[in-house]
Structure 1
Amino acid sequence: MGFGAIALSSLLAPSSLLGNATQPQALLNNRLVNGTHFHAKAKRIIYLFQSGGPSQLESFDYKPQLAKWHGKEIPPSVQGTQRNSGMVFSQSSFPLVQSIYDFKQYGQSGAWVSEIFPHTAKIVDDLCIIKSMRTDAINHEPAVMFAQTGSQQSGRPSIGSWLSYGLGSDNKDLPNFVVMLSQGGGAQPLNSAAWANGFLPSHHQGVQFRSGKDPVLYLNNPEGVNAQDRRKALDHIQQLNSHQYDIWHDPEIQSKINQYEMAYRMQSSVPDAVDVSEEPDYTYELYGENARTPGTYAYNCLQARRLAEKDVKFIQLYHTGWDQHGSLPSGMKRQALDTDQATAGLITDLKQRGLLEDTLVIWGGEFGRTSFSQGRLTETNYGRDHHPGCFSMWMAGAGVKAGTVYGETDEFSYNVIKDEVHIHDFHATILHLLGIDHERLTFKHQGRRYRLTDVHGRVVKGVLA
């Protein structure tokens, strides 16, 4: 029946897939998991997550009509059935507010971009800006979890974990899924469940790279222990773990073995991956001088490019501080100053190295902001509350239709009026670009087959090249 040939091929070519010999495999619990269901446009993802909810009205969703409505009450017909958060529950009025920033059109696409993103404005023809995103969550943690795992509750696998499970690794010496958090971005906390493995085997969880001397905690050998002694110890531990697995058949034992072996290989691979000492001066001119300082957003963007070069499958950056309930003009300007040059620099760097052709880059947060002001409105100051009904994100790189603006909101940027993209649709599209049918990448847990998109989602073909 051919099963012998399948077994033999997995032994002779352990890095190949059934049906697609150019892609890696994931070997879980001694069974082969098919990686790609069809040709993949992307080999890896860099997700630049802007935590806190960047305002679409101050970034990419230009609404000049708000000028005539500035200070006036939002019409009930516009507000409709959309929820407000508890932070504006006591407000007696909801005055609409136009953005304080100027917008201009850029590139052949004619995309509108705010003046506080001048570097992003220069690369708009590499971007697909989606203005019609929508989510179901109105508060930060459930919205972040929803964007990262497809569920508002903790306990589900993150996107990176699903990809590690489904696609395996292109570099056996580095984790499939790396996470980096910017320092000093803002006070909004992040839950590590956003990059957790959920019910998938634990070796698929994100590995956090920290700034400073030790990028990965407890990776180095204790004082007085050399590499040869460490290798012997690990060999003995593996024998004991293998014996326990033969008895109990617990997949977490296999995960332990995988994690120990990965940690051993990372002792030599990680220092090389994060060493930026040989980067030329023009790299820092591209990303900004902050890229010389470990822990900054710019430094992490540079690290993301280095990890992409080494074929890490999923690279997740988190930058907090986008939660402007008050003093939005100064807060947004500060956030843009921290991130704009490095973001554009990353796209430019990937492109000139030929990496953008098979790397998918994503920029965006968990939701948008309201078109009415939260709190007191003055000529130069205002705030905006959480708004799940519409927000903007962008994608660039492998398989994405560059120089495109997709979707449309009403004149208030309050409701989607054309080509809505739900979070589940967004996830389905990401998986599609990696050659995965989102309905077929599943894992059985507690008697049910789960997937990233739950029981929803459609591929957004309008953003595909």
Structure 2
Amino acid sequence: MNPIQERLSQITRRHFFKTGGLGLGTAALASLESGRLPLQAKTPEMNSIGGMPGLPHFAPKAKQAIYLFMAGSPSQIDTLDYKPKLNELFDKDLPEEVRKGQRLTTMTSGQSRFPLAPSKFKFQKYDNGGDGAWVSELLPHTAGIVKDISIVRSLWTEAINHDPAITYICTGNQLPGRASLGSWLSYGLGSMNENLPSFVVLTSTWSGRQQAQALYNRLWGSGFLASKYAGVSLRSKGDPVLFLSNPPGVPSKLRRRMLDTLAEMNQNEFDQIGDPEIQTRISQYEMAFRMQTSVPELTDISKETKATLDMYGPEVHKPGTFAYHCLLARRMAERGVRFSQIFHRGWDQHANIAGDLPKQCKDIDQPAAALVKDLKQRGMLDDTLVVWGGEFGRTVYCQGKLTRENYGRDHHPRCFSIWMAGGGIKKGVVHGTTDDFSYNITENPVHIHEMNATILKCLGIDHKKLTYKFQGLDQRLTGVEDHSPVQEILA
């Protein structure tokens, strides 16, 4: 046997059991001549294309989710975790019994003092239909939706630096190589629109500190799952997706013929080798062809009413802004995109909070609140989950020089605040309590795995049962620890 045939034989045996059940899928691929991906079995609850058998595990409250990710970590002390007693302790050292030997980053570990820095921003208590919610003056529009959201002030993580912390909350592990939340949802639940990706990522412009942590595509990657479950990143300039438009001189009919021929070649390769990634390649070519029509329609906001555009604020007219992306997220939810994630960078305020934090909050406050209100008035909030938050919190003590007018804050993983709204989430709830220094959690701690378990629960998934065999282990988004969804905020 020649070496090539021997290799093909080995690969075929290796993949025998893995590909033995792909016969029906292989036959269905013949329908690609029609230019459409074959529709797989649909569950009555989700009307889905694809997905794993038996999912959702129970009746979901939400069909899709939108994650507003504030990369760099917003200061909870200056936004959602009001600590009035700090005003009496300005420039006093953080008590050692509060710090409890916590490890520090190299940016503040060499400081001789850890001076307390109360927030310079005013807070007000708003009626949320319960005991009330304290919200900073930096977030007046968020304050206007407190009756529709649950604020969690007791989130925590083990990661203390940005890249591992963002990787951790997005993929369930601080080390690269794992599947992201959106990929798990695409894998488990499938798609609700064959003409758009089930997982879309948007990276917004920002107004605060322009130096920001890099965002790597592993945050929306598929890891050990098939690459077709990875997030598709939409660009703000040029084609929303690279190479979406046909080259000059290539009409749509010619592109269709090229894809049909390419599908035949890839199918022949799959018949010989049995690599499932070849199927992914075929389906992605087909998706790209359909997106040539669906994506331009998605990103065209010219038919939105003036009232809607005004609700999101003046920046909504500028592609790439957070406001524009929030409106696109609503439009994607309308069109059945399973999971959209908007990254807004620049929240890493080690200095100049007085100058940078208000700009950051202005970027996101009105659009995020408008997204919730827009979904609600369209009757979509009941089945769309919205999450807002970062990767960890900020320290109560000042990094560098402290003045009444300005200060900076270092990374703080022990407690931070987020909010959630929509399908499966109670309205008007404030969950969790921190100490007077917003340093340690005193009631109802919520680990980031528990937050992700809660997100999955809203979408009808038991996080312990959504697994994938890799490297001899049943991998899952929420790790192997005994975590549970946060029942107190679940509707």
What is the TM-score of this pair, normalised by structure 2? 0.90
Q: Percent identity?
A: 50
Work out whether residues 46 and 192 of structure 2, in 8 Å CA contact, stay in contact via their aligned partners in 1.
no
Work out whether residues 25 and 166 of structure 1, in 8 Å CA contact, stay in contact via their aligned partners in 2.
no
Letter in 1 for 2:363: D
Work out whether residues 35 and 168 of structure 1, in 8 Å CA contact, stay in contact via their aligned partners in 2.
no
Work out whether residues 26 and 35 of structure 1, in 8 Å CA contact, stay in contact via their aligned partners in 2.
no
Work out whether residues 46 and 362 of structure 1, in 8 Å CA contact, stay in contact via their aligned partners in 2.
yes
1:294-320 Cα deviation digits (max 9, x unpaired)? 011111111111111101000000000
Between stretches 242-251 and 171-180, larger displacement belongs to 242-251
SS in 2 for 1:88: coil
CA distance in 2, matches of 1:324, 1:407: 24
Structure 1 residue 22: Cα displacement: 4.4
In the other structure, the counterpart of 2:295 is 270
1:75-98 Cα deviation digits (max 9, x unpaired)? 111001322111002100001111
Work out whether residues 34 and 166 of structure 1, in 8 Å CA contact, stay in contact via their aligned partners in 2.
no
How do 1:63-462 and structure 2 match up within 5 A?
A: 63-107=83-127, 108-109=129-130, 110-185=132-207, 186-188=210-212, 189-456=214-481, 457-462=483-488
Letter in 1 for 2:167: M
1:60 is aligned to 2:80 = yes
CA distance in 2, matches of 1:40, 1:212: 36
Letter in 2 for 1:464: L
SS in 1 for 2:405: coil
Work out whether residues 23 and 36 of structure 1, in 8 Å CA contact, stay in contact via their aligned partners in 2.
no
CA distance in 1, matches of 2:300, 2:307: 17
Letter in 2 for 1:26: G
CA distance in 1, matches of 2:86, 2:434: 13
CA distance in 2, matches of 1:143, 1:172: 33
CA distance in 2, matches of 1:371, 1:347: 30
In the other structure, the counterpart of 1:464 is 490
CA distance in 1, matches of 2:193, 2:77: 40
CA distance in 2, matches of 1:351, 1:307: 15
1:274-327 Cα deviation digits (max 9, x unpaired)? 101112211221000100000111111111111111010000000001111011
In the other structure, the counterpart of 2:48 is 24
Structure 1 residue 25: Cα displacement: 4.9
Structure 1 residue 21: Cα displacement: 5.4
Structure 1 residue 171: Cα displacement: 0.4
Letter in 1 for 2:436: E
Work out whether residues 52 and 140 of structure 1, in 8 Å CA contact, stay in contact via their aligned partners in 2.
yes
Letter in 1 for 2:409: R
Structure 1 residue 13: Cα displacement: 7.8
CA distance in 2, matches of 1:81, 1:26: 49
CA distance in 2, matches of 1:319, 1:217: 21
Work out whether residues 66 and 411 of structure 1, in 8 Å CA contact, stay in contact via their aligned partners in 2.
yes
SS in 1 for 2:451: helix
1:98-142 Cα deviation digits (max 9, x unpaired)? 100110111233100000111111111111000000011100100
Structure 1 residue 33: Cα displacement: 3.4
Work out whether residues 187 and 320 of structure 1, in 8 Å CA contact, stay in contact via their aligned partners in 2.
no
Letter in 1 for 2:55: G
Gaps in structure 2 of 5+ consecutive residues: 1-23, 29-37
Structure 1 residue 23: Cα displacement: 4.0
In the other structure, the counterpart of 1:4 is none
CA distance in 1, matches of 2:66, 2:102: 32
CA distance in 1, matches of 2:425, 2:138: 25
Q: 1:67 to 1:21 in 2, by over 3 A?
A: closer
Size of the alignment, in residue pairs? 453
What is the TM-score of this pair, normalised by structure 1? 0.95
In the other structure, the counterpart of 2:71 is 51
CA distance in 1, matches of 2:191, 2:46: 12
Structure 1 residue 370: Cα displacement: 0.4
CA distance in 2, matches of 1:113, 1:21: 37
Work out whether residues 45 and 59 of structure 2, in 8 Å CA contact, stay in contact via their aligned partners in 1.
no
